[in-house]
Amino acid sequence: MQPNNKDITNPMSARPSSRAFVVLLGAQLAIGAAAIFARYALHGTGPVAASALRLTIAAVPIVTIATWKNKGVAVERKHEIMFGFCGVALAVHFATWVASLLYTSVAVSTLLVCTVPVWTAVFDWLVKKKEMGAAFWWALLIAGIGIALIVTSSGGVAPVSGMELLGDTLAVIGSISFAGYLIAIRSVSHTYPTIVLVSRTYSWAAVVLCFVSVFLNQMPPGDDLVSWGGILAMALVSQMLGHTGLNASLRWFSPSAVAFTTLLEPVFAAILAALIFAEALSMQTLLGSLLVLGALARILASSAPELLEEQANL
């Protein structure tokens, strides 16, 4: 699968410099910090409202640029319906993942939401009848054991204690819904420029989340500056700078190399949570996390180019 957009040049077209490594690691750090920012966002509002504001703030400049650069691009009705579905999947992803941070630790939530390669690989096996080798099934088994160890552990630090299983479940739902987004967007990924894909899906997700937040009576944080700071940081740092940097790093590194660095996201999140929120993970959780990271590394080894190409464009 070849990159469909003009933002990504041929991987390895230039020798990676120190600047290239700074961009790549900075992007992963920005994305890994999203959970920290989300915790602050939840200080004064609910998870759906925080997600709605995040997507709305991120969508405004992207839609403006898309309108200016792609005035002549016509979107077919069937594709607009697909964008709507992708927007709903994206809305579910952000809302459930942000909500999970109320009930489970930052490290666990970030790790579980990063299990996207597991779900896309299972879909390819079940629906597309893709042949999977023995290594994949061993990796899937190890990932399952790791997740089981994590969700049966206790003692995580979260704003609402005693609800770790609910938080873990919400994070997994967030991962599955994001996998659904990636699977659906494949059908139009070569038809439109990246900016069109992102502007459409962001807009649909923002609209869905705004309606749901009003229905649930989750209002913006008002004069809570801590909450607004978290929301703005999620939108501007994690969403725009993080994913833009991930996209840009494909100019210097192969998709496989960049995909493997996404395993740093839960590691960065765990370190930041330990420093800022004094979150300590039990030995059982640490063991489960190591098993999941190892399994993800193996699965990424076979699916990294396709997955990273799609994920970087988000």
147-163 confidence digits (pLDDT tens): 888 878 765 567 777 78
Q: How far is CA 147 from CA 71, 121, 135, 178, in A?
A: 46, 17, 18, 18
What confidence tens digit (pLDDT) does each residue in 168-203 have?
Answer: 999 999 999 988 988 888 777 777 777 888 888 889
Structure pTM?
Answer: 0.83
- Output the pLDDT for position 23: 86
Residue 235 in domain: yes
119 with 179: CB under 8 angstroms? yes
Please report where in the chains the tokens 């410099």 appear, as a residue.
Answer: 17
> What is the DSSP secondary structure assignment for residue 186, as one 8-state letter?
G
114 with 261: CB under 8 angstroms? no
Domain count, the chain: 1
Please report where in the chains the tokens 């996390």 appear, as a residue.
Answer: 289
- Output the pLDDT for position 243: 78
List of residues 6+ apart from 307 with CB closer than 8 A: 116, 117, 120, 182, 259, 300
pLDDT band (50, 70, 90) for residue 53 = very high
Kindly tell me if the per-residue pLDDT of 12 is higher than 50: no
Kindly tell me if the per-residue pLDDT of 7 is higher than 90: no
Structure-token pair, residue 73 = 């691009």
253 with 21: CB under 8 angstroms? no
Backbone angles phi, psi at 257, to 5 degrees: -65, -45
Average pLDDT for 57-86: 84
What confidence tens digit (pLDDT) does each residue in 230-283 have?
Answer: 999 999 999 888 877 876 776 787 666 777 777 888 889 988 988 898 888 788
Residue 9 in domain: no
Domain range enclosing 168: 18-312
Residue 2 in domain: no
Amino acid at 65: I
Q: Burial code of 254-267, b = ≥16 C-beta within 10 A, e = fewer?
A: ebbbbbbbbbbbbb
Residue 53 in domain: yes
- Output the pLDDT for position 207: 95
Amino acid at 279: E
Residue 10 in domain: no
- Output the pLDDT for position 255: 64
Handedness of CA 100, 195, 192, 302 (dihedral sign): negative
Residue 12 in domain: no
Residue 3 in domain: no
Residue 304's Cβ-count burial label (10 Å; 0-12, 13-18, 19+) is buried
List of residues 6+ apart from 310 with CB closer than 8 A: 182, 185, 186, 189
Residue 274 in domain: yes
- Output the pLDDT for position 191: 79
Q: State the chain's mean pLDDT as an integer.
A: 83
Kindly tell me if the per-residue pLDDT of 306 is higher than 60: no
Alpha-carbon gap, residue 239 to 41, rounded angstroms: 14
The pLDDT > 90 percentage for the chain reads 33
